[in-house]
Chain A
């Protein structure tokens, strides 16, 4: 998926209807339609499209009482299309409907040369355009590491996990610094649908329970998060940005997403082609699942923001084959490892159960009864279910190996060993992530 830059017309969405002179905009019935909505295939004129797009977000906000007059809310801003459109629409709606909200842009600087410095420039311009203050928190100041340094240390495998863990905390800390308790993020309907299918694919009931909630509060984070774009199609977000000539940074993650997400994403794209409403339909099913997950699973952990693969972009490597147009994406590719590993784990569970008793149904997650008490991280004070929070676990390892490398930097073996150590930790964290309920890395800003 490569969204157009702000000058090129989107190639993926059919924007220009056939020259049928008699057809008029389905909404105003006056102008000639210029746009076909991805959601409904309605043909609309540009002003009507912009208006309806904004109106639907307004309805999403008001029907869920998302904001209260006088609130101070942070917009997680990456400079990408989703968060830029979110900021632009919220600015418009705040003025038009007099929400009485103070918005501040909150950006995370992961420390990725050539990507983040450029996108941060975009966010800085957005701050001026939308007259919103901007606060940037960086991994370097929070953790002493930039993502570039992390990647240098551990290689590309596992860095999405590091980044996800760091980002979640960084957003919380940024919000804390601002004194806000509510961050809105740019998750759209496509992201939401993808997450529903991914959680079904992974058998992750706790996440299935909470992933479609518009607002998620949790006891492991002082900050509530919400997703006002949850019913907005990615294609329409691109169209909206294009027609309002919004200034956004149009680079997508160069890394292929984690395999389950990649498979779910490819499936969502195919579904959208078969039946455009399918994205909304999956989201609607996901909303039904909220009440269908048995309480012993959903009731254990407080609700949480959903996880999304980290859309971090590292500049140098060429993108591995993106599988967007390939519904068979789950069959291979670089990131197929997670699926194979999960398959193996499930099979071992099945075999173990099989040995114990021939009749009983295999029940995989029975053992990991999730009873977790929250405490504060011994090192940094961040909320955690363990003695050390995940960020500190990662940091401890990174720092240990940095020290080691400082002395013996020329020894390849040591370096490899160090990489392996961190990598194994990462994998362990990944596993922990898939069985825990109170953790989660919220990727998108």
Chain B
């Protein structure tokens, strides 16, 4: 018995990819090609850079999960290759890590702070990166709305009380929200807006989000389940975001499983040791999901699509293609004061839950933000203004 041959070359196959036998080299090249093709499709990178022409800069959020580490690795690989040409690299990247320890999550290596971890990545693994940024999620309070000119108003919109630290303000905000799902939902909104703000400050062309097919499908369902269906185009499609920076998804055609294989077995040296946010064990057991306790809507959907990817990967990518075909209903609608997206007209009592509470509930919020703040114990002091 000899090993089956690779589908694409005469080498013996070592891996299965999209149900075809592949050798390691062809597997890697498949992953690279998928990303390179996507990047080209954005039409932001000129093919023949002439030293004098400015090249675009992208911001790459790094969570230390498999997807973002792999994306970073492949971007650096491409830049390295370009540097060996006379024309030089055709784009720059700024990496941003949002430190979310304030949400009570893991901090990685325990003894190393995110800043130290980034330090070690800088020189050892990814010297091609132009700039590294580590920022705390709560520092979103430093990004004041650009709209207000009068100082009085600016202070009011800032959402912070006199003398309160960013940390205190953020914790107070989170504590006032009605449920774990609401907290995770709005923390996600703030993370997205923080990355966008940092990118804009550095004049980046776009954000290269590390969402895989699996993640995009999960997002499509989670956002739908949180009443944010109207916002899918900005969360799934390669578009100009209402924040003034493009949102791009170069990993959209790759499954999580494929990136794990790449990070573990194919990248040289392996990337997996850098991915402290990745864990082999699913974070949420099926039993937990069934009981619905201590799990959020986002986590439930993550679990659902992790399992779906195992059995029905094509259905997963079809979900993403379907969601990707949805168009923004009205880009000129009034922007939601919380998420900053052109809103969907909020809610009526019928959809919010009880017919009695119909009056004046929209408050400039979209339905999803209304849902996540509905029943908050305190008045919501939001760090950002309208976009």
Contact = CB atoms under 8 A, between A and B. Distances in A.
Interface of A: 27, 37, 39-40, 42, 52, 55-56, 59-60, 63, 196-197, 200-205, 208, 231, 267, 270-275, 277-278, 280-289, 291-294, 297, 325-328, 330-331, 339-340, 342-343, 346-347, 350, 359, 361-364
Contacts of A56: 350, 354-355
B297 interface: yes
Given A40-B354, A200-B323, A289 B290 contact: no
Contacts of B368: 281
A282 B349 CA distance: 15
B225 to A, nearest CB: 5
Nearest to B231: A288
B92 interface: no
B292 A343 contact: no
Contact of B225 (A55, A60, A278, A363): A278
Contact of A288 (B229, B304, B371): B229
A1 to B, nearest CB: 14
Contacts, number: 173
Contacts of A203: 318-319, 321-322
Main SS class of interface, B: helix
Interface of B: 19, 37, 179, 181, 220-221, 223-230, 232-233, 286, 289-292, 295-297, 300, 303-304, 307-308, 311-315, 317-319, 321-323, 325-330, 344, 347-356, 367-368, 371
A275 B37 CA distance: 40
Contacts of A37: 354
A287 B227 CA distance: 10
Nearest to A279: B225
A359 B34 CA distance: 9
Nearest to A292: B326
Main SS class of interface, A: helix
A248 to B, nearest CB: 24
A275 B181 CA distance: 8
A347 B321 CA distance: 14
Given A40-B354, A52-B356, A330-B308, A282 B225 contact: yes
B297 A271 contact: yes
Shortest 3 CB-CB distances between A and B: which pairs? Answer: A285-B229, A273-B292, A281-B227
A197 B321 CA distance: 15
Contacts of B220: 200
A286 B223 CA distance: 11
B47 to A, nearest CB: 15
12 contacts: A40-B354, A52-B354, A59-B349, A200-B323, A282-B224, A288-B329, A291-B330, A293-B327, A330-B307, A339-B311, A346-B317, A364-B321
Most buried by B among A273, A274, A342: A274
A327 B304 contact: yes
Contacts of B226: 275, 278, 281
Nearest to B329: A291
B322 A292 contact: no
Contact of B224 (A196, A280, A363): A196
A339 B354 contact: no
A355 B227 CA distance: 39
B314 A327 contact: no
Contact of A289 (B229, B296, B297): B229
